[in-house]
Amino acid sequence: MATGPNDPAPHAGLRLFALSFTALFLELMVIRWVPSEVRLVAYYANLMLISSFLGLGIGAMVSARGDRLFRLLPVFFAANVLLLLWVGGGQVSLGGAGEFRFGATQGKLGGYAALLMIFSANAAMFTPLGQAIGVQFARLPALRAYAWDLAGSLTGTLVFGLFSLWSFSPLFGFTAVALIILALGERRRRLGSLAACSVAVGAIWLAAGQREVFWSPYYYITIGETYLQTETPAPGQFRQYVAERPAGPLPADLRTMRDPPIFQLHVNQDFYQMHGTVDLRRYAPEGWRHALITKSIVQYSLPYQLINPPAHVLVLGAGGGMDVETALLHGAAHVDAVEIDPQIPVISHRLSSADPYGDPRVTLHVNDGRAFLQQCTATYDLVAFGYLDSQALFSYGASLRLDGYIYTVESFRQAYSLVRPDGALVVWFFSGREWLAQKLVQMVEQATGRRPCVYVNGGALAIVAPRGPLPRRPPAKIADWELSSVVDVPVDLATDDWPYLYLERQGIPADYAIVIGLLLAVSVAAVARLRGPGFGATDGHFFFMGWGFLLLQTKSIGDCSLYFGATWLVTMLVIAGVLLMVLLANWVALRFLRAFQPWFFVPLFLSLLLLLVLPKEIILAQPLGLRLAWTLLAVPLPVFFAGLIFSTTFRDALHPAALFGANLIGATLGGFCEYLGMWLGSHRLGYLVLATYAASLLCLLWRRRTAPA
């Protein structure tokens, strides 16, 4: 489908729709796939979003030169995929003293270089798409072009959401992108484009190999089986250790057999949890499986050594079900098991030789743990926080991890309120850092109002906070677990406003600051080189609108995740709702508003102030229906009013593609500023949103003052 300067408007509109659809779908594909392939990006996932905006913005800014870059898109697509697979094979990682990441090492030059390459290559891949979108903007009236762009983006978001719900697959997803690229490209260059796209899709297919892979809404999951490895380092000598191999066929008598297999589940190519029974009667006493499971059963049974046998148990983060089975083995009459990832209970039902989720005494709730606590009216003898420790961010636009709102003082306080008078709250965690262990202990103490009983075993931690006095005196040692004391180390406790358990203190860790500074410098240099010196008040207005828009979107995702759970569905609905609200604002401007008026900013500022002055605690305390009404009516209001301002000022733009590019570049900076939440907290980040829109208004007023009569 070749392009030319004389394309009729209907053709340009449909092409703009297709290009915007492709850009959004490809953006979400990259954000979803890359953290699973390159572990380093699992903690920098929003950099893929930022680089996508940067590439689209740069492309739109240079669209006056035509869309000649679009013919290079297949090459950039293939090069980006190959780079990601190459970097992922090296499994570089970054870490810092002020933040804990599972499996990370201290920051190295190779990690920073890898992030720079990934960021630059992804931006380069989206630049041809941005240029082609900008060319179509020039062929249509500004608001009609913007409507086509929004419609394509919204459709891309919804299609990707359905694709993820149905069965996510990088191979199928990138194949669909390749086919769209080929359909939109020039016929005379289709052979070369086909070759480049085939290289990209083929590389993804080869990288997948023959492994059995599960894609959940949150993780890339692989399964391995433990076995006893025997080596003979010298004649007459041998040593044995527990190793892992690809899982083989399941035994037909898995549920009843003696010495059943034990499986290991990996997420994003790192160990996450074991799947198997913790019933020691199923294993030969002298066998290696018995010794391996003994370590697990001790940690899961530890709270039962201190409290009376509980009849009703709540497990948050039930995972493979080992802690659920432990509760049943200790006489629990009923267990509510909460697990956010729908794929993990399915895998457990298939692999676990105990099948705890198939037990009639167990009720499985596929839900976010914090959301379950909000809705729960039952009480329990034991409320247990399983090993929820997250391996990824919960949203592509936020630096907050999947378990961010689970491990806060308010969450522990809410869970403790569900504990019966003779019951207890228990928190299991693999801390890895002394300050992180003490931080968790202090958070539980503040939430419950009493000093908890703490046991440690290496990096593992068990915190028991009883409602009343413990029936039995805590022993100094339970197997390998030792009773520990609470040390008031100077740490900042995680709260709903600052939900950063894995940060020691409020602030931006050094490695984040280095990465942000490096990538921001590259972005500014690229924009300055391509855009030139002619950046005026009008450009500034759209720049600040983009900055505020992305900050507002990411903050809305965080707030709604607190109200309804940090699930992928909440994130997708918020994104789709934001795009739908902007599309509605554009339609209102197109049909009913002739020109921009400065008072349009008044309802925008009032709606932003409403979100700022009303505490989250008040919203959280409301019933589900009122929280839903608030989210559907109040949260999107600033987006709608900002959309009205954008559309009415965009209508008469002389160079709409360049201004659209400035808007996207502003969104890039807004993505970087999201990291300020680590320092300021969520509430204060709202004031920055207010400031960006105020700067946008000042740019418009300055333009009116300096414009010739």
Cβ-count burial 654-682 (b if 16+ within 10 Å, e if not): ebbbbbbbbbbbbbbbbbbbbbbbbebbb
Query: Residue 396: is its pLDDT beyond 70?
Result: no
pLDDT tier for residue 207 given thresholds of 50, 70 and 90: confident
Query: Residue 278: is its pLDDT beyond 80?
Result: yes
**Which residue type occupies 661?**
G
Q: Which residues pair with 338 in a beta bridge?
A: 316, 365
The CATH class of the 309-390+409-484 domain is alpha beta
Contacts of 315 (CB under 8 A, 6+ apart): 323, 324, 327, 335, 336, 337, 338, 384, 386
3-state secondary structure of 116: helix
pLDDT tier for residue 700 given thresholds of 50, 70 and 90: very high
Question: What pLDDT does residue 270 have?
Answer: 78
pLDDT tier for residue 235 given thresholds of 50, 70 and 90: low
pLDDT tier for residue 229 given thresholds of 50, 70 and 90: confident
Question: What pLDDT does residue 89 have?
Answer: 65
Higher pLDDT among residues 128 and 471, named by residue:
128
Would the CA dihedral through 390, 393, 394, 399 be positive or negative? positive
Q: Could you give the percent of the chain with pLDDT greater than 70?
A: 91
- What are the residue ranges of helices labelled H in 302-419? 322-329, 343-351, 369-375, 409-416
Q: Does the domain at residues 9-211+501-706 carry the CATH identifier 1.20.120?
A: no
Query: Residue 397: is its pLDDT beyond 90?
Result: no
Least confident span in 7-11, 279-283, 661-665: 7-11
Higher pLDDT among residues 381 and 269, named by residue:
381
Q: What is the pLDDT of residues 53-63, one digit of tens each?
A: 999 999 998 88
Question: What pLDDT does residue 2 have?
Answer: 43
Q: Could you give the percent of the chain with pLDDT greater than 90?
A: 42
H or E element: which one contains 192?
helix 190-208
Q: What is the pTM of this model?
A: 0.89
Query: Residue 459: is its pLDDT beyond 60?
Result: yes
Question: What pLDDT does residue 647 have?
Answer: 94
Q: How far is the C-alpha of 452 from the C-alpha of 454, rounded, in Å?
A: 6
* 483-491: average pLDDT: 80
Question: What pLDDT does residue 120 have?
Answer: 92
Q: Decide if 9-211+501-706 and 309-390+409-484 have a common fold.
A: no
Q: What is the pLDDT of residues 410-420, one digit of tens each?
A: 999 999 999 99
Query: Residue 443: is its pLDDT beyond 90?
Result: yes
* Domains in the chain: boundaries: 9-211+501-706, 309-390+409-484
- Residue 170, both tokens: 């990088």
Higher pLDDT among residues 382 and 161, named by residue:
382
* 84-90: average pLDDT: 79
Q: Are strands 477-478 and 460-466 parallel, antiparallel or unpaired?
A: unpaired
* 518-540: average pLDDT: 78
Q: Are 388 and 440 in contact (CB under 8 A)?
A: no
Question: What pLDDT does residue 203 have?
Answer: 92
Question: What pLDDT does residue 1 have?
Answer: 43
* 128-153: average pLDDT: 92
pLDDT tier for residue 280 given thresholds of 50, 70 and 90: very high
pLDDT tier for residue 361 given thresholds of 50, 70 and 90: very high
* 509-535: average pLDDT: 77
Question: What pLDDT does residue 4 have?
Answer: 45
Q: What is the pLDDT of residues 308-326, one digit of tens each?
A: 899 999 999 998 999 999 9
H or E element: which one contains 489?
none
* 38-61: average pLDDT: 84
Least confident span in 138-147, 555-564, 693-702: 555-564
Q: Residue 99 carries which DSSP code?
A: B
* 551-570: average pLDDT: 81
Q: Are 355 and 386 in contact (CB under 8 A)?
A: no
Q: How far is the C-alpha of 287 from the C-alpha of 275, rounded, in Å?
A: 18
Question: What pLDDT does residue 416 have?
Answer: 97
Beta strands in 396-504 (DSSP E): 419-430, 453-457, 460-466, 477-478, 481-484
Question: What pLDDT does residue 658 have?
Answer: 85
Query: Residue 6: is its pLDDT beyond 50?
Result: no
Query: Residue 258: is its pLDDT beyond 70?
Result: yes
3-state secondary structure of 245: strand
Question: What pLDDT does residue 385 have?
Answer: 94
Query: Residue 408: is its pLDDT beyond 50?
Result: yes
Q: What is the mean pLDDT of the chain?
A: 86
Q: Are 416 and 425 in contact (CB under 8 A)?
A: yes
